[in-house]
Structure 1
Amino acid sequence: MANAPVIKTTGLSYHYSKEAQTLFDINLHVEKGSIYGFLGPNGSGKTTTLSLLLGLLGNQQGDIEIFGQHLHSNRIDILKKIGSLVETPSLYAHLTAKENLEIYRTVYGASKERVNEVLKITGIEGTGQKTVKKFSLGMKQRLSIALALLPNPELLILDEPSNGLDPAGIIELRELIKRLNKDYGMTILISSHLLIEVEKMVSHVGIIFKGKMLFQGSLAELHLFEQKGSKLLVDTSDNEAALKLLQEHHPEWVGNTLALPLKDREQIACINRTLTQNNLDVYLLHPKENNLEQLFIDLTSTKS
């Protein structure tokens, strides 16, 4: 089944203490073969959620199913099929990339051939005898992902993998994630606060804020949601008259300016003609498109 959920949580809630509830009724639905962007500002509950999925924190309330199995009763079998990068792994700075992977290989029960495979997949096979202490941050991050890939996982969970990377490193990471998904059929759950960057690689999105899910759906559904918030700002020599002329466009007041739901460029041209043909001077005709960044700001500033 193409859209069967690899991850499904039901009513997931978590308290670090009686006074501090971190998660409220989280219902994640991550489809097989998807790249799911789990978005939210720092402190919104992303890492807590991922830690619960990996069994790093004890489940308090709600249910977690991964690969169609309940996590609490099938944890070992489930974790064998997951690769993760949640906290920065311990890399041995005085060793090479291959030597680091050899140490972890026995833990995962991976073959020597798999070490060479993940070096190639992550693009660090050419580092040779260069030790990790001489690696750039981007190379260290790729080595960390190589470690997560050793067990040849079906599901890859990455927590803020772009943190600290320069623009070139972010692009390299993005292309690697897309390749893992396309070429190896890997389902990937990636948390981030870099909204514009994540939009370039994911197929599905979940937005979390203060421990509550504000949106979940496909990227296409998110774009439709964005369009609903796009406005055309209008200011004329007589806004009261303009309000009456533009009734079919459902205008509303925003301060002393009019705002109309924005559809397309043809609508803007039509509005301009209507105003000028009725002898109104047009001072402002400004499309305010609600991109992902603006949508996130709107969602997180109006919800609590």
Structure 2
Amino acid sequence: MFVLEVKNVNKHLGKREIIKDLSFSVKKGEIFGFLGPNGAGKTTTIRMLVGLIAPNSGSICIMGHNIKTERELALSKVGAVVENPELYTYLSGKENLMQVARIRKISKEKVDEVIELVQLTDRINDKVKKYSLGMKQRLGLALSLLSEPALLILDEPTNGLDPSGILDFREIVQKAAKETGTAVFVSSHILSEVQQLCDTVAFINKGVIQSVESIKNNNEVKSASVTLITREIEETMELLKTLSVVEDFSSKDNIFSLKIKEKSVSELIFELAKNHIHIEEIFKNHKELEERYMQLVEGGIR
């Protein structure tokens, strides 16, 4: 059984169609990206998923419960962080969590467990008004995880966060999905975030899903694109010619563009270090999602 199953959902406002025959599913422990430009229908979809508006036709089921006919049961399995989380800024982070815990009869042990998961242990007793935006996002995430939701919905979760905050938030979400089996639905227009965070992505434009594709463990991908920056230009060039993991490479000054066998980055780094090549930077290039987005959403690669 899927945690979230959306079948043939349509939504219109007056004569204008906003969502057209939307269908997708999300399974336990999966991080599902909903990727599209502003105005594509992402926010309308989320409002339907959390029961704020109803579809004109089609069905939305959460843990087998239809949101239209079993609204309370379906939504009891959902946690959400939509835009900026609503927090009592004059209370501490812990007091915010305890307010919800008392209402929902959640144990103090569970509260402490969630605080540790979102990495707020050191600051949980500070007033929320002293929190950075990233800390507020983490506290909002903690609030949504308190009731152990089967489905976690995140709407543009990294908006306004600095690079460090984005990395922290991504790590927490991935950990929650892996350790608790929570299914995560992430709406975003940021390609790099979806690439780094998600297992599966649905490309949506003008209310229509163009494609649903796996972006993790893609068995069709046999090679990886890597950029290497080093001072030892001649030595690096000679070494790369001898390595079996390197399929092709080119260089411009001290920047090398490599095509290597998939999952061979660690082996490449080992060989460079073994041969005393100083690495200034090395990173994988994530072009695949960008190119696919341009094909499906923008009508072609620029």
User: Shorter-chain-normalised TM-score: which range?
Assistant: 0.7 to 0.9
SS in 1 for 2:193: helix
Residue in structure 2 matched with residue 114 of structure 1 by the alignment: 110
SS in 2 for 1:105: helix
TM-score by length of 2: 0.74
Instruction: Confirm or deny: 8 A CA contact 1:41 1:209 kept in the other structure.
Output: yes
Tell me the distance in 2 between the aligned counterparts of 1:224 and 1:107.
Answer: 49
Within 5 Å, which residues of 2 pair with 1:1-304? 4-18=1-15, 20-220=16-216, 291-302=288-299
Tell me the distance in 1 between the aligned counterparts of 2:159 and 2:220.
Answer: 29
Residues 41-77 of structure 1, C-alpha deviation per residue, up to 9 Å, x if partnerless?
2221112111111111122111112212222111111
Residues 223-247 of structure 1, C-alpha deviation per residue, up to 9 Å, x if partnerless?
959x9xxxxxxxxxxxxxxxxxxxx
Deviation of 1:104 after TM superposition, in Å, equals 2.1
For structure 1, the residue ranges without an aligned partner over 5 or more in a row are 228-263, 269-288
Q: How many residues align?
A: 244
Change (3 A) 1:222 1:297: farther
Q: Which has the higher helix share?
A: 1
Paired AA for residue 76 in structure 1: E
Tell me the distance in 2 between the aligned counterparts of 1:196 and 1:87.
Answer: 19
Paired AA for residue 50 in structure 1: I
TM-score by length of 1: 0.73
Tell me the distance in 2 between the aligned counterparts of 1:128 and 1:84.
Answer: 20
Deviation of 1:265 after TM superposition, in Å, equals 5.5
Deviation of 1:216 after TM superposition, in Å, equals 0.5
The root-mean-square deviation of aligned C-alpha atoms, in Å, is 2.7
Tell me the distance in 2 between the aligned counterparts of 1:128 and 1:196.
Answer: 30
Tell me the distance in 2 between the aligned counterparts of 1:26 and 1:32.
Answer: 20
Task: State percent identity of aligned pairs.
Answer: 39
Tell me the distance in 1 between the aligned counterparts of 2:161 and 2:178.
Answer: 23
Change (3 A) 1:116 1:49: same
Deviation of 1:162 after TM superposition, in Å, equals 0.7
Tell me the distance in 1 between the aligned counterparts of 2:56 and 2:105.
Answer: 31
Tell me the distance in 1 between the aligned counterparts of 2:49 and 2:122.
Answer: 34
Instruction: Confirm or deny: 8 A CA contact 1:206 1:215 kept in the other structure.
Output: yes
Change (3 A) 1:95 1:215: same
Tell me the distance in 1 between the aligned counterparts of 2:95 and 2:216.
Answer: 43
- Bigger Rg over Cα: 1
Deviation of 1:30 after TM superposition, in Å, equals 1.1
SS in 1 for 2:5: strand
Deviation of 1:106 after TM superposition, in Å, equals 3.2
Query: Which is worse superposed, 85-94 or 26-35?
Result: 85-94
Instruction: Confirm or deny: 8 A CA contact 2:34 2:204 kept in the other structure.
Output: yes
Residues 9-46 of structure 1, C-alpha deviation per residue, up to 9 Å, x if partnerless?
1111111332x321111101112221111111222111
Residues 152-207 of structure 1, C-alpha deviation per residue, up to 9 Å, x if partnerless?
11211111111111111111111101100111111111111111122122111111
Change (3 A) 1:14 1:128: closer
SS in 2 for 1:175: helix
Query: Which is worse superposed, 70-79 or 166-175?
Result: 70-79
Instruction: Confirm or deny: 8 A CA contact 2:35 2:201 kept in the other structure.
Output: yes
Query: Which is worse superposed, 206-215 or 196-205?
Result: 196-205
